[in-house]
Structure 1
């Protein structure tokens, strides 16, 4: 049986779409369709049910994927190891949220890029979880840091770490507030008009919604912190990001709940690609580094 046909089959099975599989394989959609039909003729059984949006594997298709995929991934690993011995470094395309990627992931990964002469080149892009995961599925990225766990067989996710969220403001705002659940006129600084961080904090800690609208909206948590330090109002930020400002006294915690709100980060890859050595090293290195993040 032709390995190229099996590779196309596994890609379609994971992608759930001829169109997405074609993009990942660098083929045209008609070529992917033709290869799947050829494989179905050879087996004498249908492998996919065509639907309005994508395809769904038949029980025969699921059985074949279960048997074939691990062996194809092993072949990718063998081929990747051979490429990894080349003097030219492989390039890792990383995507994630700008603040976490800049403050956490990139310092860890850049320490690995020259490790023992077996490093890799690094290309980074920023975006929302939805944009990054869509780009990963389309083959634009190799590794994505996401606050959303991807669904489906195309992508595989591993929990990376949890970040604690804290309600902060400049010290002068802490002296006259009436209640942490009622900002008492303290302006709100946020990354979006929907107040995603403040709303999540209020729902988790106070079981309510914030009553004050956003006064300063800026789409970067580091800028939110700078505005809070300048006294523009209260904000909800990851503790790791505002810890130095807390230690200096530039901002103070307005509330210390017994169980602080947490948000989980995931490392996402296309299923099977961890067989590539440079990608596996980056993945494992981030997981090890995350063990020391608090």
Structure 2
């Protein structure tokens, strides 16, 4: 006999869509197929007589009605889940480190559902090498790292960052389009760079991946925060390679343009790293990040 679909099922599915930003992530977390999630959402929207999400190429965007519904039911559903499933409850603090830009824009929003299960976080920002040293010394429990650590750590890949080369529209118009197709390195070499560090870690990786050598361009600005790098690019100081999750809003707004379109975009794998014996809390963090649908980064 088929299990009867309850209003609680519909609301739980809605909340997973709302928090994950996509039907795919909700299907994964609910253990359902995507058509089943779509059907439950359609049934709830029919019950309420309103649209809860608008669909786009990168997921779904909640309507004001969805925002109101999530505020009203979220905490109550979380408490009900914990009461019905004691194994879902967590009680402890995880000291976690990561790059300030990724943690601010993607990492902390992704970890927020674990706080509703009782987990607490103490967050540290820094470079991957420094954070891994803190993990080795026992000052951190988990690190989200852009480099794969050496032996002695357990590193689980959880997503890939895609990098895009962007510049302000005025500088973009100085690029010879024919030369860009034939010899992109030469077409771009007159453009000043905005770099994260004096060693040009991201730009060097992009140039070597796409053009076979490190950039010869002059460096106009060096600033150790990718959000500040983007701000300098928007202001016209130069061009830079940035993670897509930071660049896409500026591209959509017309503040910057993507200067180069490689056949296969440069990627960098991100790892969730632990050391030694783990706890239920750190295991929950690793599994949560590993199983999440991150979409395009």
TM-score category, normalised to shorter length: 0.5 to 0.7
Show CA shifts across 1:165-219 (max 9, x none): 1110011111112344133532110111111111111111011221112111100
1:292 and 1:260 mapped to 2: Cα distance?
15
Is 2:135 the partner of 1:136? yes
Q: Which of 145, 161, 164 pairs up with 2:162?
A: 164
Q: Which of 103, 107, 110 pairs up with 1:101?
A: 103
1:191 and 1:88 mapped to 2: Cα distance?
37
Q: Which residue of 2 aligns with 1:174?
A: 172
Work out whether residues 195 and 214 of structure 1, in 8 Å CA contact, stay in contact via their aligned partners in 2.
no
Q: Which residue of 2 aligns with 1:146?
A: 145
Show CA shifts across 1:95-130 (max 9, x none): 01111111111011123201xxx3211100011111
Is 2:286 the partner of 1:287? no
Residue 284 of structure 1 and its aligned partner are, at CA, apart by 1.3
Residue 288 of structure 1 and its aligned partner are, at CA, apart by 2.4
Q: Which residue of 1 aligns with 2:123?
A: 124
Q: Which residue of 2 aligns with 1:257?
A: 262
List alignment gaps of at least 5 residues for structure 1.
Answer: 1-83
Work out whether residues 244 and 296 of structure 2, in 8 Å CA contact, stay in contact via their aligned partners in 1.
no
The secondary structure found in structure 2 opposite 1:105 is helix
2:205 and 2:225 mapped to 1: Cα distance?
17
Is 2:208 the partner of 1:203? yes
Greater Rg by CA: 1
Work out whether residues 90 and 281 of structure 2, in 8 Å CA contact, stay in contact via their aligned partners in 1.
no
Work out whether residues 189 and 216 of structure 2, in 8 Å CA contact, stay in contact via their aligned partners in 1.
no
Work out whether residues 191 and 217 of structure 1, in 8 Å CA contact, stay in contact via their aligned partners in 2.
yes
With over 3 angstroms needed to count, the CA separation of the structure-2 counterparts of 1:174 and 1:88, relative to structure 1, is closer
Q: Which residue of 1 aligns with 2:12?
A: none
Q: Which residue of 1 aligns with 2:198?
A: 193
1:112 and 1:244 mapped to 2: Cα distance?
27
Query: What pairs up with 1:9-88 in 2 under 5 angstroms?
Result: none
Task: Output the TM-score relative to the length of structure 2.
Answer: 0.65
1:293 and 1:253 mapped to 2: Cα distance?
16
Query: What pairs up with 1:236-247 in 2 under 5 angstroms?
Result: 236-247=241-252
Q: Which residue of 2 aligns with 1:89?
A: 91
1:101 and 1:127 mapped to 2: Cα distance?
10
Show CA shifts across 1:63-82 (max 9, x none): xxxxxxxxxxxxxxxxxxxx
The secondary structure found in structure 1 opposite 2:292 is helix
Work out whether residues 163 and 239 of structure 1, in 8 Å CA contact, stay in contact via their aligned partners in 2.
yes
2:174 and 2:296 mapped to 1: Cα distance?
34
Q: Which residue of 2 aligns with 1:35?
A: none
List alignment gaps of at least 5 residues for structure 2.
Answer: 1-85
Residue 290 of structure 1 and its aligned partner are, at CA, apart by 4.5
Residue 292 of structure 1 and its aligned partner are, at CA, apart by 3.3
Q: Which residue of 2 aligns with 1:29?
A: none
Residue 88 of structure 1 and its aligned partner are, at CA, apart by 9.2
2:153 and 2:202 mapped to 1: Cα distance?
27
- CA-based RMSD: 1.9
